[in-house]
Copies of this chain bind each other. A is one copy, B any other.
Amino acid sequence: MKTNRLEAFSDGVLAIIITIMVMQLRAPKEMTWEALVPILPVFVSYVLSFIYIGIYWNNHHHLFQITKKVNGKILWANMHLLFWLSLIPFATSWIGEDHLMVVPVVYYGIILFMSGVAYFILHRLILKLHQDDETIQKAYSNQNKAYLSMALYLIGIALCFVHPILGAVCYLIVAIMWIIPNKQVEKYIE
């Protein structure tokens, strides 16, 4: 099976997730700069989640640039990834409603961890399907970043119980790690 429809469907879901979040930004009644202050935490969490979805889209885009075919398992693994990502707007709005509290930040971390796991599974299944394709094996074999980020998420979740800001910092480190997508893939394409 070709990858084009899987990509189109994923693009659609990610485009909606990224824009649904902006609907939680409600215009204040008053027309002053002060009226924007209570919206600020919602805005900050919108920005962070936008970046997160952006990172996933970019990496998903890279992952399927050199993938040539998919099977039924990959379709479901992709659906599984989209499921966890679709919970990000909920986690965002829960965090955004007040200053940082333990439970919502832990919850956000769990969603991020599960998204990471789902991406890892998807990655694995694509590798397995292209066993005979040497270039794909080379371009995708290195999964250290995936292991490291899953570990960091778990550490972040644990650190939330010390202080939620420590957890948030861990999630941020993972984000920065992934802003630059797989360089090996870009090399291969060239």
Q: Which residues of A are in contact with B by a Cβ distance under 8 Å?
A: 1-2, 5-9, 11-20, 22-23, 25-29, 31-33, 35-36, 47, 50, 54, 57-58, 61, 64-65, 71-72, 75-76, 79, 82-83, 86-87, 89-90, 93-94, 97-98, 101-104, 107, 179-181, 186, 189
* A41: min CB distance to chain B, Å: 13
Q: How many copies of this protein are present in the complex? A: 4
Asked whether A22 lies within 8 Å of B90 as measured between CB atoms, the reply is: yes
Q: Which residues of B contact A79 (CB under 8 A)?
A: 50, 54, 57-58
Which residue of chain B has the shortest Cβ distance to A94 in the bound complex?
Answer: B27
Distance between Cα atoms of A172 and B190 in the complex (Å): 43
Asked whether B71 lies within 8 Å of A186 as measured between CB atoms, the reply is: yes
Given known A-B contacts A15-B12, A15-B16, A22-B20, A75 and B61 have beta carbons under 8 A apart: yes
